[in-house]
Structure 1
């Protein structure tokens, strides 16, 4: 899943600096492209607070040695109920690295839950029902994803 550098659009970005007056505001006109980092990720510049950030800031992909494809595969293996040690063997990635990705995923899930309760106005019960729905439908992966899972787990199940 190599991303095209031209995909990153400044209008879709927001300043992640909590001290910036335009923090969290998409489409405020303050964000411009600012080159690429050493890994080829698009960098952006906030004209309001004059700070730079990379497109993956505040995501599970930020500041990782793993590729996006590897992190996505860890997610898919987790969905298939593989444990951390099994993922370590399948992907040949140290379990501490896998655990770090899982911790970040859990933190992001918590942030989504908190956002849904605080900003969207859902109750804890409604959010719980939403996560239950997501869990029940986790096996409805596209055919290509199922094939990737099959290839990744051959000889390890």
Structure 2
């Protein structure tokens, strides 16, 4: 009887991202150890097999960013709410080009997540749309955009 292997999304520090490593992309093989933290406090890892070091943010929107994760997320959330890039640049102190780059990278990562969900996990387009609606409503069941606007306006 063929054994079916459970598929799941791997988290940082559970596999080696080095394509030349003999244990590349093999999850939970015991070859990855914690290896200190970066100047920004991001966890670093080291592969015992190939000696490659990498950070927890590698392959994410936050990789090699000098701005705080909180600032990036807050800026992207405000963009999603309809705040203009020029207004955010003035208020947050980031260049418009920087904010646009974050937005483009976030879109690429969203496309990659959607592709993984629809491809590897056989999730329908409607289910992915539902997931993004859930994420957009911060996980509150039955929440709508109008309800959030009324709450924030004090009505």
The aligned counterpart of 2:115 is: 114
* 1:56 match: secondary structure: coil
The aligned counterpart of 1:14 is: 15
Count of aligned pairs: 133
Normalized against structure 2, the TM-score is what? 0.71
Normalized against structure 1, the TM-score is what? 0.70
Q: Decide whether aligned partners of structure 1 residues 117 and 36 sit closer, same or farther in structure 2, where only a CA change above 3 A counts.
A: same
8 Å contact from structure 1 (residues 61, 68) kept in 2: yes
Calculate the aligned-residue CA RMSD, in Å: 2.8
Alignment of 1:75-154 (within 5 A): 75-135=76-136, 137=137
* 2:46 match: secondary structure: strand
8 Å contact from structure 1 (residues 12, 26) kept in 2: no
**Structure 1 unaligned regions, length at least 5:** 1-9, 151-157
User: Which of 1 and 2 has greater Rg?
Assistant: 2
Give me the whole-angstrom Cα distance separating, in 2, the residues matched to 1:77 and 1:11.
27
Give me the whole-angstrom Cα distance separating, in 2, the residues matched to 1:112 and 1:43.
23
The structure where helix makes up a greater share of residues is: 1
Give me the whole-angstrom Cα distance separating, in 1, the residues matched to 2:139 and 2:129.
19
Q: Which has the higher contact order (CA 8 A, sep 6+)?
A: 1
Alignment of 1:41-56 (within 5 A): 41-56=42-57
1:66 Cα shift?
0.6
Alpha-carbon displacement from aligned partner over 1:94-127 (angstroms, at most 9, x marks no partner): 0111111111111110110110111101233432
